[in-house]
Structure 1
Amino acid sequence: MSRLTDLRFRAATTFQRRVGNPLLRRLPLQTVLETTGRVSGQARQTPVGGRRVGDSFWLVSEFGERSQYVRNIKADPRVRVRIRGRWHTGTAHLMPDDDPVARLRSLPRANSLAVRALGTDLLTIRVDLVE
């Protein structure tokens, strides 16, 4: 990993952890992914951008397997997703063979632009929702 890539990762994650995520997850209509902390066992909520398609919810992680929520999914794929203020349970699947750039074209534009601009290792994630 280049020094510039590492600097982008550290700057973006520090801002998200301390400023962006605490504010966004309080917004009632913000989409939130809830995972179980792989060490703590506590619920961890991360604001995400994505889209529900049928019984699945699709999103793209900007830092791939370096993202804490992706590491939590690898340890326990059972998740919840808050979509339009309503919680849904599901099972998350990492999709390394999916084209994340193409996937971003079908997801909400503002979030997709930010993911493309900041992301260093894009990874598609599909959550199979259970009603």
Structure 2
Amino acid sequence: MPRPAHSETKYRFATAFQRRLNPVMRRLPLQTLLETTGRTSGLPRRTPLGGRRVGDSFWLVSEFGERSQYVRNIQADPRVRVRLRGRWHTGTAHLLPDDDPIARLRALRSPNSVAVRVIGAGLLTVRVDLED
């Protein structure tokens, strides 16, 4: 099924913007980062993002669902690390296509959640079960 033109425009705009912003965001010591293993390169890939820790899980919503590179990396290898408040945690990521991503964003309540709702198309909930 073809994607609506506005979804494609949002995707292109967001990825171009993030390509410039993400290298800066990765350097901020308290920025939340998701580290996946590149599905082709096998190298660590760090993505700045928003989300929230709830108990032993970290929740986030991918703004472009399975089109997001980090989601594709999770599909290939769900073992990830999450940097929260400057500390790294290992975990296993789970894609939750049956979860309501809009309700999840409301529950996460962060400025990032607003941006994901406005910019995103094809939202997908991700839960990382933290091991430490």
The alignment partner of 1:69 has SS state of helix
- Deviating above 4 A after TM superposition, structure 1's stretches of 4 or more consecutive aligned residues are none
Superposed, 1:65-84 pairs within 5 Å as 65-84=66-85
Is 1:12 matched with 2:5? no
The alignment partner of 1:25 has SS state of helix
Kindly state the Cα deviation for residue 108 of structure 1 after the two structures are TM-superposed. 3.8
Kindly state the Cα deviation for residue 24 of structure 1 after the two structures are TM-superposed. 0.8
RMSD, matched Cα = 0.7
Give the corresponding residue for 2:54. Answer: 53
Q: 8 Å contact 1:61–1:124 — kept in the other structure?
A: yes
- Residue deviations 1:66-88 (CA, integer Å, cap 9, x gap): 00000000000000000000000
- For residues 5 and 98 of structure 1, what CA distance do their matches in structure 2 show? 21
Cα 1:80/1:59, change in 2 over 3 Å: same
* Amino acid paired to 1:92: A
- For residues 6 and 53 of structure 2, what CA distance do their matches in structure 1 show? 34
Superposed, 1:1-131 pairs within 5 Å as 1-17=3-19, 19-131=20-132
Kindly state the Cα deviation for residue 2 of structure 1 after the two structures are TM-superposed. 1.4
Percent identity reads: 72
* Amino acid paired to 2:116: V
- Residue deviations 1:11-36 (CA, integer Å, cap 9, x gap): 1011102x211111111111000000
- Residue deviations 1:64-112 (CA, integer Å, cap 9, x gap): 0000000000000000000000000000000011110000012142100
Kindly state the Cα deviation for residue 49 of structure 1 after the two structures are TM-superposed. 0.3
The alignment partner of 1:106 has SS state of helix
Cα 1:31/1:108, change in 2 over 3 Å: farther
- For residues 76 and 86 of structure 2, what CA distance do their matches in structure 1 show? 26
The alignment partner of 1:90 has SS state of strand
Normalised to the residue count of structure 2, the TM-score between the two structures is 0.96
Gaps of 5+ in 1: none
